[in-house]
Amino acid sequence: MLTFKTLLNHAQPIPGFVYEQAEFLNDGKDARIDVVIRAHAQIRPKCSECQRACPGYDRLPARCWSQVSTWKILCFYHYAPRRVDCPEHGIVVEQMPWNDGKRRMTIGMMAFLAMWARRMSWLETARAFKVSWESVFRSVEWTVRWGLKHRVLEGVKALGIDDLHWGRAGFLTLIYQIDDGSRRLLWIGQKRTQATLMTGLDTLGPAVISGVEYVCSDMWRPYLNVIGKRIAHALHVLDRFHIASHLNGAVDEVRRGEMSRLNAAGKTTASMLKKMRWPLLKNRCRVLGRARKRLNTLIFSKLATARAWILKDTFQHFWTYHSVGHASRFLDAWCQRAMRSRLPPMKKVARMLRRHQPLILNWFRAKGALSSGAVEGLNNKIRVTTRRAYGFRTFNALEVALYHSLGKLPEPPRTHRFC
């Protein structure tokens, strides 16, 4: 005959303990199942610190733990913990396989909630399984801490370092692993200073840093300084997406300035720039339909925006080279052309590219071994995670959520799972 205790022993066995009885209670409002656990008579209790079998000392009052619901019926464990006399740690509470510290949920329950919190928002998870938002957060936090403690940081060949705006006036420093075989979040810290990045590299440890072969970052000066000091042995590649962002920003600045001047002068040519912001920022091949016709008309005009866009579009050919020498000559010619364009935003970009030319050319020295697009992809996933949760008020909650979604952390063993 199949009993509920048989299901419990199959789903979550607890060595050293026995499911004594399971009682179904229904008061008309909330049904529940109370599972009473007792210690195995022939197995000595273990110290919760060193897992050593020790003689018993006394017994504490009975405690209650929330377990995974069964058929939407709340389930609770009941057990009176023993204290043991450990020769090394003194009088401590015994080790209980379903419990961790003083938490009021079982390990199986926390792992179960954390699994669903990766698929749904924390609030939806709390409502679906009749728990509080705080319970879901604590479950995810426990899972993340366990994963960080047991994760393996071996074979990290490529690092991506970037910053992301968060909150009203704050920034985050993010360190990713962007190897072809593994792309994950390694570390997250507040602010985007040299001290923040130094802390992140110290957290990863010298063993990880010494094995890094490639580093990808933007042109933020504090990051460049730290990378030059701490990861100087690696090939430092500038993120091409940030360069494209600077070019797009320069084109948009030229467009806004020219549109204001034309409107002030009352010239009809200002209509050519109306509603052209996004077509100008896209690659030419992605502009279709009427927007493509308007873009072609603008390109053949003599407006400053057209010249800025042509410079931006011409620069895309830079990434098609395979030789460092050819790419260097193209970059020199492009910067010279931009400096003669009489467009201050484009001249500013040209000066920036000249300052960082050796790092930009490292993109070709990497010979395709590094994909800088992985950094932007992970940044986009971070935005999706924070948007799905409607933002986090504390950095601790944000850190836990991002590690949980993007860290690819190891999960607790199946013996700790009830799912």
Cα–Cα distance between 240 and 369 in angstroms, integer?
Answer: 14
Site of tokens 């260097």:
328
In a domain, 112, yes or no: no
Q: Are 277 and 336 in the same domain?
A: yes
Mean pLDDT across the stretch 148-157? 91
In a domain, 143, yes or no: no
Q: Are 328 and 379 in the same domain?
A: no
How sure is the predictor about 417, in pLDDT bands with cuts at 50, 70 and 90? Answer: very low
174: alpha, beta or left, given left = phi > 0 and alpha = psi -120 to 50? beta
In a domain, 60, yes or no: yes
Q: Are 218 and 329 in the same domain?
A: no
Number of other residues whose CB lies within 10 A of the CB of residue 47: 21
The pTM score is 0.82
Q: Are 356 and 248 in the same domain?
A: yes
How sure is the predictor about 68, in pLDDT bands with cuts at 50, 70 and 90? Answer: confident
In the chain, the number of structural domains is: 3
Contact 251, 284 (CB under 8 A): no
Q: With pLDDT > 90 as the criterion, what percentage of the chain qualifies?
A: 49
Contact 68, 61 (CB under 8 A): no
Mean pLDDT across the stretch 299-324? 92
| Domain end point (choices 64, 88, 104) | 104
Q: Are 354 and 399 in the same domain?
A: no
Q: Range of 349's domain?
A: 240-365
In a domain, 94, yes or no: yes
Q: With pLDDT > 70 as the criterion, what percentage of the chain qualifies?
A: 95
Q: Are 344 and 391 in the same domain?
A: no
Query: pLDDT at position 315, please?
Result: 95
Instruction: Kindly report the CATH number assigned to the domain that includes residue 389.
Output: 3.30.420.10
Contact 67, 75 (CB under 8 A): yes
Mean pLDDT across the stretch 356-378? 79
Q: Are 53 and 37 in the same domain?
A: yes
Q: Are 247 and 333 in the same domain?
A: yes
Q: Is 171 helix (H, G, I), strand (E, B) or coil?
A: strand
pLDDT tens sequence across 242-276: 899 899 999 999 999 999 998 888 888 888 888 88
Q: Are 349 and 389 in the same domain?
A: no
In a domain, 132, yes or no: no
In a domain, 198, yes or no: yes
In a domain, 190, yes or no: yes
In a domain, 97, yes or no: yes
Residue 112 pLDDT > 60: yes
Q: Are 186 and 284 in the same domain?
A: no
Mean pLDDT across the stretch 200-228? 92
